[in-house]
Structure 1
Amino acid sequence: MMEVAAGPWTEVFEGSERNGESLGSSTLTLAPLVADSPSIRRSQPIFINSNRSKGVESFSSSVPSIPNPFPELSKSPVLISSLPPQSSDKHLIKVYGEDSHSRSVWVSRGATARDVCHMLVQTAHCSDQENWALLEVHPVLSLERCLEDHEAVLEVQATWSLKGDTRFVFCKNYAKYEFFRKPMLFFPESMISDSADVSKGMTSSELIQQNLLRSGTCPEIQGFLHVKEASRKAWKKVYFFLRRSGLYCSTKGSSKEPRHLQYVADLDDLNVYAVVNGRKLYGAPADFTFCIKPSKNPVRTQDLKILCAENEQTRTCWTSAFRLFKYGKQLQCNYQLSKSAPRSLEGSKLPDGKSKSEASLVAMDFSGKAGGRVIQNPTEAQSAEREEGQAWRRREALRCSLPNLNSGARPSSIHKSQPWFHGGVSRKEAQRLMEKQGLVDGMFLIRESQQHAQCFVLELCYKLKARHYLVIACEDGGRKYFTMDDGLTLFIDLLQLVEFHQINKGILPVCLKHPCVCVAL
């Protein structure tokens, strides 16, 4: 046998030389050198700590630390960013605006709809911080509902189908707690069951006030509803009863006898949705359609109980009663928190309730000889602000009415930059937008008229109905004006018209209060 050392390997030639005999054949094998070769070190995984602050102290000690420009976001349960946070407890959701653009939001597992809305209000630079809501929208089935402020967003998203196009939409909702302010508008006497309790000598209004203020609920509701029969296109008119124990229907007219009552659904396991286009999609007899479905199951057509009311007030009464019976006292707590929400937002308010941007601004009175004084009384400050605005309007109207005024001195398109102006949207789209943001008294928008050239339409909500007022363009003394009362009151532009009716009703049934706006995220 002969060994030839070549590098770290040894060639071993095994011949047939055994006892002096040669067999004439040989084999070649490679064997590693073990004795003379150094020990082999294999690469091992190196653990890299996620917190590298200790490791960079050696070369970053001379560099000054950069302060966090957004300290209020570090304590928030919601983070908006394109990169995932360090904590593994964060989950990504997508929220859409009303312009179909979306924003990705990192939320914690316990983040509620109120938390998401508060963060979006701050990041979207909304002008006010109240009456915002998160909608759960099912475009294919034309269903939508407003999430309650206390609902966990991830729990709601967990009930969605993976193949569906369900989404969250961030928008205004003025009517979320309106039934606490005007209960008789939402619960008419004709729909309050006579078994609610008249034995105590209480009127319907007193009964509703007592239930809403004390227990956060409402009395028993009754009335006819059209119901879509299962696996059929036909609709049937049925008398329903909504009680704390659940939803019932009568098998014999409007009879309340126990033998005629049929149990329909348990309120604790239901969610109520508004149907956007019930006539076209489901063949509903009216536009005031809503449905109920199990809250923990994905939305399927066979699980929907589709109902249709005769008018908007009836539908609003049923859907509001569903919410009150299901959540009870929790809704009243949400209402109280919503009133104090602007003062409790972290980073946006000071302890005295004023925002940081307003902390350096004070109301001043320069009418005296002392050179000006600070107005301490809030009521006096508001009055001075209103008077100053009216005086400015009078000066502006006088300036615009001068005979030598250049027609281009004041832009005629000043209304296009206002949040209440919606351009050339159709009447149906405008009404749909107002319904989504809550049909509360004083909500309004202005759009271009599709039937009259150079005219506009003022859409105003009053008593759960959208009313339409034609704004006509006219000329007087070579000057263009706008009017709603055949020239009795003239306005130099739509902005002046809106500001006037925010203080004075004029021909309107109520002053303009809440602009119907579209939010772009």
Structure 2
Amino acid sequence: MFMRVLLRVLLPVSPPVNVRNCTGVKQLVLKVWSEDGAGKVVEIPADMTARDVCQLLVYKSHCLDDNAWTLVEHHPLLGLERCLEDHELVVQVQASMSSDSKFLFRKNYAKYEFFRNPLNFFPEQMVAWCQESDGSIPQSQLLQNFLNSSSCPEIQGYLYVKEPGRKSWKKLYMFLRRSGLYYSTKGTSKEPRHLQLLSDLDESNIFTIITGRKLHNSPTDFQFCIKPSKVRSDCKELKMLCAEDEQSRTCWMTAFRLLKYGIVLYQNYNVPQQRKSNPSHFSAPVRSVSENSLVAMDFSGRTGRVIDNPVEAQSAALEEGQTWRKRSQRMNVLGSPSPLHPSSLSTVIHRTQVWFHGRIMREEAHKMIIQQGQVDGLFLLRDSQSNPKAFVLTLCHHQKIKHFQILPCEEDGQVFFSLDDGATKFTDLIHLVEFYQLNRGVLPCKLKHPCTAVAL
């Protein structure tokens, strides 16, 4: 019988100095931070893109590369952050950042979700033709019109705009076009004489505001900001905006990216598919399916070996878990003392899974889901705050975050876990998650994307 265990790997950190490689190309130092506050220093060439840096970090941290990893530009003093586009040169972005700003390494499942499900991102009433006063774009041609530089789609609707130097907000009817973001000086009129330019797209980037509504006295929680690329820390140059709901904010921010970068975004989206047939030197070997620096090992032979194939490693982890369960159950049936009783095993076996986050608060769970994309099926599990024996499933569906309590129930002396008051019972949380990844059951959607945090 194969015996496989997981070992923690400690990776050396590169020294923070500028060096040159054997080809004479200057290597620049970049420090990237993970969600737990740990940092990693890497040396990169000046022409390295955000996607290349993510692949390098995936390789060094032994993560599974599912193309959802992203580099985040984080400004703590301004309370802003955004995900870099895969094609952006990291060195250029770093040059425009202040000394307090930093890069974060994080997953973002919504990065290209609008290519897969455009109807969820663009409400019909918010999309129109520039040339028409009230004609809407057919939904079947929506993305084609955004990507085609000769077409003129626009996003329209009300936004709250923060008045410069004050904490008051003004509600204006806005139009987002390829040439920039405009507001109407007369109701909802889009006549040229009534439109005023608020911000262009070429020299600006769009950010999420992460400080909460109290700091800026915003009318809703759905804030975002347009920041000129050359501005480092001057708040006066920021265009602070606020939408009515999450769907509207997502629509404005996604359209900004599409209108600014166009076909380049679609090329970024297609690159991972092409890379599968022509892997780069960063993508192999990825030595573990774990995203917390654990490596799968096989000790069935005379010497141990690292399991390089992620599929084999995942199969090994599932097989080992099943073996533990069977061994514990068999030993107890025979009356032999088990070193780990099934009931105690079921309460700890899930703690090595990437989707389990322990004793985090409800607010922290919300924050993690929002940061990683708010796509359907994004989920995590955590300890319950109200019941020490229970757990909570936090799940995103239709851009809303919902919580489901997982309660223990006992039957014939064995503890099970259930989401539906005992109608469907599982011996441990791993079984429960695997079931709801295949079956919706009482949930609004299947579990699709685990909300994870990597340890750099």
TM-score by length of 2: 0.82
- Check the 8 A contact 1:218/1:325 in 2, yes or no: no
Quick check: 2:71–2:105 contact (8 Å CA) kept in 1?
yes
Q: Is 1:81 aligned to 2:14, yes or no?
A: yes
Structure 2: distance between partners of 1:517 and 1:461: 14
**For residues 197 and 399 of structure 1, what CA distance do their matches in structure 2 show?**
70
Deviation at 1:495, TM superposition (A): 0.9
Partner of 1:143: 80
Instruction: Provide Cα deviations, 1:231-263, integer angstroms capped at 9, x if missing partner.
Output: 111111111000111110011221222222111
Matches within 5 A, 1:69-468: 81-82=14-15, 84-86=19-21, 87=24, 89-161=26-98, 164-193=99-128, 195=130, 204-212=138-146, 219-347=153-281, 399=329, 408-410=340-342, 411=345, 412-468=347-403
Kindly state the Cα deviation for residue 509 of structure 1 after the two structures are TM-superposed: 2.0
**How many angstroms does 1:345 deviate by?**
3.5
**Matches of 1:97 and 1:108, distance apart in 2:** 21
2:95 and 2:286 mapped to 1: Cα distance? 37
Aligned-pair identity in percent equals 48
- In structure 1, distance between residues paired with 2:83 and 2:193: 36
**What are structure 2's unaligned runs of at least 5 residues?**
1-11, 290-310
Q: Which amino acid aligns with 2:116?
A: R
The question of whether the paired residues in 2 share the 8 Å contact of 1:112 and 1:152 is answered with yes
Name the structure 2 match of 1:35. Answer: none
Contact 1:94 1:104 (C-alpha < 8 Å) held by counterparts: yes
CA distance in 1, matches of 2:143, 2:328: 50
2: distance between equivalents of 1:134 and 1:216? 31
1:501 aligns with 2:433: no
CA distance in 2, matches of 1:356, 1:487: 39
1:129: how far off? 4.2
What is the Cα deviation at residue 497 of structure 1?
Answer: 0.5
Query: Residues 30-78 of structure 1: CA distance to partner in whole angstroms, max 9, x if unpaired?
Result: xxxxxxxxxxxxxxxxxxxxxxxxxxxxxxxxxxxxxxxxxxxxxxxxx
Task: Give the AA of the match of 1:346.
Answer: S
Letter in 1 for 2:219: P
Inter-partner Cα distance in structure 2 for 1:510 and 1:319: 25
User: What is the distance in 1 between the residues matched to 2:228 and 2:167?
Assistant: 22
- 1:516 alignment partner in structure 2: 451
Q: Residues 382-405 of structure 1, C-alpha deviation per residue, up to 9 Å, x if partnerless?
A: 9xx8xx98x969x85994898778
Deviations 1:257-315 (A, max 9, x none): 22221111111111000001231321212211100011122132111111011111111
What's the secondary structure of 2:153's corresponding residue? coil
Distance 1:503 1:167, change over 3 A: same
Q: Partner letter of residue 174 of structure 2?
A: F
Determine the structure 2 residue equivalent to 1:73. none
When the two structures are aligned, how many residues end up with a matched partner? 410
TM-score by length of 1: 0.72
Aligned in 2, Cα 1:216/1:485: closer, same or farther, shift over 3 Å?
farther
* Cα distance in 1 between the residues matched to 2:167 and 2:115: 37
Give the secondary-structure state (helix, strand or coil) at the position aligned to 2:111.
Answer: coil
Which deviates further from its counterpart, 143-152 or 217-226? Answer: 217-226
Task: Check if 1:490 corresponds to 2:422.
Answer: no
Instruction: For residue 477 of structure 1, report the CA deviation from its aligned partner.
Output: 2.2
Q: Deviations over 1:102-148 (max 9, x none)?
A: 11111111111111111101000002342110000001221000001
Q: CA deviation at 1:214?
A: 5.3
Distance of 2:128 and 2:184 partners within structure 1:
14
Structure 2 CA distance for aligned equivalents of residues 473 and 147 of structure 1: 42
Aligned mates of 2:188, 2:132 — CA distance in 1: 18
Q: Distance in 2 between matches of 1:217 and 1:400?
A: 68
Q: Secondary structure at the match of 1:502?
A: helix
Which one scores higher on RCO, CA 8 angstroms, separation ≥ 6? Answer: 2
Long gaps (5+) in structure 1: 1-78, 359-380
Q: Distance in 1 between matches of 2:50 and 2:453?
A: 19
Which letter maps to 1:128? D
**Range with bigger deviation, 495-504 or 444-453:** 444-453
AA of the residue aligned to 1:181 = R
In the alignment, the residues of structure 2 paired with residue 134 and residue 175 of structure 1 have an alpha-carbon distance, to the nearest angstrom, of 14
RMSD (Å) for aligned C-alpha atoms:
3.2
Letter in 1 for 2:14: S
CA distance in 1, matches of 2:326, 2:152: 51
Q: In terms of Rg, which structure is larger?
A: 1
Which SS does the other structure have where 2:54 is aligned? helix
Identify if the C-alpha distance between structure 1 residues 436 and 396 changes in structure 2 by more than 3 Å, giving closer, same or farther.
same
For 2:39, the aligned partner's letter is S
> What displacement does 1:218 show?
8.0
Say which is worse superposed, 247-256 or 403-412, in terms of deviation.
403-412
Corresponding residue SS for 2:254: helix
